[in-house]
Structure 1
Amino acid sequence: MGVTRPIMRSGRKFTQVVEGAREIFLAEGFEGANVDDIARAAGVSKATLYSYFPDKRLLFMEVARAECQRQADAAMQIVQPGLPPRDLLLFGARAMTEFFNSPMSLSIFRMCVAEAERFPEMAREFYRNGPMMARDMLAEYLRCATGDGLLAVDDPELAAEQFAELCKAGIFNRRLFGIEDELTAEWCEKVAQSAVDMFMARYGVTE
């Protein structure tokens, strides 16, 4: 069957497959993940796994979509208009640096680039359900904080994109090009703190 077949996102077995795949993909990335290991982690047969996902790329993108939704749900618990900007931004920066440092983020990027011509909708769907959702959520907070006089952001969407790029600095390219293996938690914290400092230096309000 083709890789564009619609996925039925329901049922206990489906949930088991996605959770098992998440465990393996987070540990091994896309390239290193083995279907046998995924089926074993999910507690299902390979036949059951293939009945939901006839192609490993489809399974990976479903895990990536679910992971973005998981992170968005967690972010919704803290993204509130009244929260001090530095506190919220540091929370977001820590989540982003952790993600950019993970095998999952590298695999998502590599797959979206590799499959962009053959399956452009796959990359677009991930962007809509991942980076764009996070950008819009942060942009809305920046808009509210600016309205309350806590920040001075003239273009919330651009500022949200800039913040994400600051959180990549010193991490993503080093991992992508194999300059470094997984970076330390201490380094990621340094990047997160610096991203917030730079963002606040540009958009913060001096009292």
Structure 2
Amino acid sequence: MTAVVEKIHRGRKFDQVLQGARTVFLRDGYERASVDDIAREAGVSKATLYAYFPDKRLLFLEIALTECTRQTEQAAAEVEDDRPAREVLLEAAQKIAEFKLSDFGLQMYRIAVSEAEKFPQIGRAFYETGPQAGCGLLCNYLRQAVDRGELVIEDLDLAANQFVELCKAGLFNERLLGVDRKTTAKAIEKTAKAAVEMFMARYGAKVDA
């Protein structure tokens, strides 16, 4: 994957540094993660770490983009086109909500937003690799469901974005703003099911009685 900015350099221990940093960020969060801890976890010197990533922000965003790509590729591999649309969408809704409401997913979002104004290339890279790629994958599936006659959608991009928003309705802002520190599996399941019901009510093909 392309590095976030030109300041990032690749080398023999690049992946080793990323894995160590990912472990520390997931364990400690962005703010509490120290360069010393990351270097120790990765088994490299601080000099080696700084040779690849001049600052912690760039390291975190590189991990974020790598994770977004992994999530998208995994979702693409798991889509079974022959299953009913409602079933596929319910599974997708669960995974979308779980990822976006996870500690790591929220941390990625916060950092990307906070740095986007000063470093627009970071915001653009995060958008293209994360939200845009995810909606593109969803669009591909929706198009197939439309071709099979299960869904009736004129604007696939709009429908895909609407679905993603429905999957995290209410829950995302609560987590993002610290109102709710931990979203329960029951709350995610309830929201995912409601998202699919509303989506199918709007876009599901009507069957003549």
Same fold, TM exceeding 0.5? yes
Identity of aligned residues (%): 52
Counterpart position of 1:198: 198
Contact between 1:166 and 1:195, CA under 8 Å: does it hold in 2?
yes
Q: How does 1:146-157 map to 2 (within 5 A)?
A: 146-157=146-157
Counterpart position of 1:107: 107
Q: CA RMSD in A?
A: 1.8
Contact between 2:94 and 2:192, CA under 8 Å: does it hold in 1?
yes
Contact between 2:7 and 2:54, CA under 8 Å: does it hold in 1?
no
Once the two structures are superposed, residues 27-72 of structure 1 have per-residue CA deviations (whole angstroms, 9 ceiling, x without a partner) of 3332232222222222222222111111111111110011011101
Measured after TM superposition, the shift of residue 83 of structure 1 is 3.3
**CA separation in 2, counterparts of 1:71 and 1:10?**
24
Q: Give the aligned residue type for 2:31.
A: E
Q: How does 1:119-134 map to 2 (within 5 A)?
A: 119-134=119-134
Measured after TM superposition, the shift of residue 110 of structure 1 is 2.0
Counterpart position of 2:98: 98
Q: Mean Cα displacement is larger for which, 169-178 or 108-117?
A: 108-117
Counterpart position of 2:86: 86
Counterpart position of 2:20: 20
Counterpart position of 1:116: 116
Q: How does 1:23-42 map to 2 (within 5 A)?
A: 23-42=23-42
Counterpart position of 1:7: 8
Q: Give the aligned residue type for 1:138.
A: L
Q: 1:79 to 1:8 in 2, by over 3 A?
A: farther
Q: How does 1:128-207 map to 2 (within 5 A)?
A: 128-207=128-207
Once the two structures are superposed, residues 158-177 of structure 1 have per-residue CA deviations (whole angstroms, 9 ceiling, x without a partner) of 00000110112131100111
**CA separation in 1, counterparts of 2:164 and 2:10?**
29
1:57 aligns with 2:72: no
Instruction: Classify the secondary structure of the residue corresponding to 1:61.
Output: helix
Q: Mean Cα displacement is larger for which, 33-42 or 163-172?
A: 33-42
Measured after TM superposition, the shift of residue 6 of structure 1 is 4.2
Q: Give the aligned residue type for 1:7.
A: I
**CA separation in 2, counterparts of 1:99 and 1:173?**
14
Instruction: Classify the secondary structure of the residue corresponding to 1:200.
Output: helix
Measured after TM superposition, the shift of residue 4 of structure 1 is 4.1
Instruction: Classify the secondary structure of the residue corresponding to 2:170.
Output: coil
**CA separation in 2, counterparts of 1:199 and 1:111?**
30
**CA separation in 1, counterparts of 2:188 and 2:25?**
21
Measured after TM superposition, the shift of residue 10 of structure 1 is 5.6
TM-score by length of 1: 0.90
Once the two structures are superposed, residues 168-187 of structure 1 have per-residue CA deviations (whole angstroms, 9 ceiling, x without a partner) of 21311001111111211222
Q: How does 1:61-76 map to 2 (within 5 A)?
A: 61-76=61-76
Gaps of 5+ in 2: none
Measured after TM superposition, the shift of residue 15 of structure 1 is 1.1
Measured after TM superposition, the shift of residue 96 of structure 1 is 1.2
TM-score by length of 2: 0.89
